[in-house]
Amino acid sequence: MRTFSLFTILLLCAAILIIDILAFYWLRSITDLIDSSALVELIHVVFWVFTAGLISAIIILKVRLDDISPKRKQWMISRFYGLAISSFIPKLIFVIIISILYFTNFVIAKEESLLVVPLVGLLSGVLPFIVIVYGIFKAAYRYKVHHIQINSSRIPKAFSGLRIIQISDLHLGSFNSRYKVLDNAISMINQTHPDLIVFTGDIVNNFAWELKGWDKKLDQLSAKKAKFAVLGNHDYGDYSQWDSEEEKLANSNDIKDFFKKIDFKLLLNDSVFLEKDNEQLAVIGVENWGDLPFKKYGDLEVAMQGADHAPFKILLSHDPTHWAKEVRGQTDIDLTLSGHTHGMQAGIQYKNINWSPIKYKYEHWGGLYSDGDQHLYVNRGMGWLGFPGRLGMRPEITQIDLVRISD
């Protein structure tokens, strides 16, 4: 997981304190409506005890971070991340809404806030809190199958109807050995009876030990023809400090060996060919390729060697920025499958609405993108990193059906 400087942590704590001071100011307009002075005092004490406890815990965690085991450190950071978000965001919304309501009412009515203002303000804070708690404990494991169909005259007749299941960004370390959380996802995948299952990177957060025991679970994934995988930016150990390059290399090799245990062929700047009725389809896999600060391990030119003769090419590349920088308009790759963005684990997906704040960082962040005969699909991820939940951005399983059409 990414680490932050002590100064950054202190700024975060200052922001939490400022919002809590403002929230408490408006909270008193609500507690003033309560007749019981003892209850009012209890509410006020609980409010500040929680604030002091959260800020103290964040600072102590930062100061003692180096003394905590990596596994416990990862668990604690994600939990405090969730606690801070579930506290900060509802209070921020509460402060903004009640301030707008109060001053709007004051200007229009020329009098102090009516009863409806603090009550609506309170509701504006409670609802986001409920949504965030739901996102942490429920929505993070409500897997959704997204169905897409790729139509192309380049698809060989023998492969028309080929079904591909794409999964991405499992981040197994975040699940903390809770193996049952993937039971429903595995069942949903196997019920589609896929020909291919492809995994597009980030199986861990940082360490190979995060994979312990997961081979028995992921080995249950069933495909008629084959299972392929590529590595993501988190699978190289670049976000951790190592005592030596040998230790980092051993971690990397253990992660690569894991794919053998679950019967996935790991493509490291390499291509494989599927054959049926004397026709071929190429599956190309590159190592991680992304813009800074992400390192470029991928070499598309090397990966495509020998694949020129394949009429239809599928590229597995973790970072979707690769499509715009090296694939689209520069190769004859028909379909690129990526992940990486997680859809920011937050957004709005309803009917034709597909929005997330991550769109302001990534041009291609979730769903299907097309440019002529070339297509990119960005999977929104199955796991989570940092914030231990999902808000309006359910964990995704992608079902892709290839259909040959006439020229």
Average pLDDT over residues 255-276: 98
Dihedral class, residue 150 (left if φ above 0, else alpha if ψ from -120 to 50, else beta): beta
Q: Which of 73-82, 183-192, 203-212, 339-348 has the lowest mean pLDDT?
A: 73-82
Average pLDDT over residues 370-396: 96
pLDDT of 105 over the 70 cut: no
Q: Using an 8 Å Cβ cutoff, are 397 and 155 in contact?
A: no
Q: Which residue has the tokens 């390192």?
A: 295
Residues 241 and 213: their CA atoms lie apart, in Å, by 24
Percent helix, strand, coil in the chain, to 5, is 45, 20, 35
Residues 353 and 338: their CA atoms lie apart, in Å, by 21
At residue 125 the predicted structure's pLDDT band, cuts being 50, 70 and 90, is confident
Domains along the sequence of the chain with CATH:
6-137 (no CATH), 144-404 (3.60.21)
Q: Which of 62-71, 132-141, 243-252, 259-268 has the lowest mean pLDDT?
A: 62-71
Average pLDDT over residues 126-138: 93
Out of 11-15, 128-132, 324-328, the most confident range is 324-328
Check residue 292 and give its pLDDT.
Answer: 84
Check residue 115 and give its pLDDT.
Answer: 60
Q: 199: which strand partners? A: 167, 229
Check residue 110 and give its pLDDT.
Answer: 47
Order of all β-strands in the sheet with 270-276? 270-276, 279-285, 313-316, 335-338, 374-378, 367-371
- Taken in order 322, 323, 325, 331, the sign of the CA dihedral is positive
Q: Which two tokens stand for residue 136?
A: 């942490």
Check residue 245 and give its pLDDT.
Answer: 95
Average pLDDT over residues 232-261: 96
CA distance readout (Å), 44 to 60, 98, 132? 24, 18, 23
Q: Cβ-count burial of 80 within 10 angstroms (0-12 exposed, 13-18 middle, 19+ buried)?
A: middle
At residue 384 the predicted structure's pLDDT band, cuts being 50, 70 and 90, is very high
Residue-averaged pLDDT of the chain: 92
Enter the pTM of the model: 0.91
Percent share of the chain, pLDDT over 90? 75
Nearby residues of 270 by Cβ (< 8 Å), 6 or more positions away: 284, 285, 303
| pLDDT, tens only, 107-119 | 555 454 456 667 7
Average pLDDT over residues 348-361: 92
- Taken in order 185, 186, 190, 194, the sign of the CA dihedral is positive
> Which residue in 109, 115, 228, 239 sits closest to 168, CA to CA?
228
| pLDDT, tens only, 306-341 | 999 999 999 999 999 999 999 999 999 999 999 999
Average pLDDT over residues 24-45: 91
At residue 70 the predicted structure's pLDDT band, cuts being 50, 70 and 90, is confident
> Which residue in 293, 282, 394 sits closest to 346, CA to CA?
394
- For residue 327, the 8-state DSSP code is I
